[in-house]
Amino acid sequence: MARATRIAGVSQVVATQGSTVLAFKVAGTHSITPTGTEREALVGAGGVAGYAERPAVAVIEIEIFDSPDLSFEQIGRLSDVTVTSELATGKQYILRGWLANQPELSGNDGTATLRFEGPQVEEIIVSS
């Protein structure tokens, strides 16, 4: 009989800058783009010639819930931050970078989207 394996659902995200530690309550979206490369097809009149490979920014993007002790002014100043993301599978992703967007807090549902960017995301796979 196959063992049930949790692959989605519960996740945690913590941002650290100096002595400041912010633990976010993930509301919905939690996506990770770990690669630092993007490829684009090179197409001309004669067809596909190949592709170009360029460096790309790595991203951790999350939708978070607001809370009484969370300062969006403080979040907006995150510029030299380490973001640690842990997924339901136990995989961890670490990005050292910056907050790329100014978070916009929705008063309707109490959420905001944070987009952290950096040169790469380190993946840590925990084997059981």
Q: Please tell me the distance from the alpha carbon of residue 75 to that of residue 104, in angstroms, as a whole number.
A: 11
Query: Which pLDDT does position 90 carry in this prediction?
Result: 86
The mean predicted confidence, pLDDT, of the chain is: 91
Which two three-digit tokens encode residue 57? 């920014």
> Is 60 exceeded by the pLDDT of residue 126?
yes
H/E stretch holding 23 reads: strand 20-24
Query: Which pLDDT does position 101 carry in this prediction?
Result: 96
What is the per-residue pLDDT across 17-56, written as a single tens digit (0 to 9) for each?
Answer: 999 899 999 998 899 998 778 999 999 999 999 999 999 9
pTM for the full model? 0.85
User: Using an 8 Å Cβ cutoff, are 25 and 67 in contact?
Assistant: yes
What is the per-residue pLDDT across 57-88, written as a single tens digit (0 to 9) for each?
Answer: 999 999 999 999 999 999 999 999 999 999 88
Which two three-digit tokens encode residue 108? 């309707």
Right CATH for 12-124 from 2.40.30, 3.30.420, 3.30.70, 1.10.10: 2.40.30
Query: Which pLDDT does position 56 carry in this prediction?
Result: 93
> Is 60 exceeded by the pLDDT of residue 2?
no
Query: N- to C-terminal Cα distance for the chain?
Result: 19
Q: What is the residue extent of each domain of the chain?
A: 12-124
> Is 90 exceeded by the pLDDT of residue 116?
yes
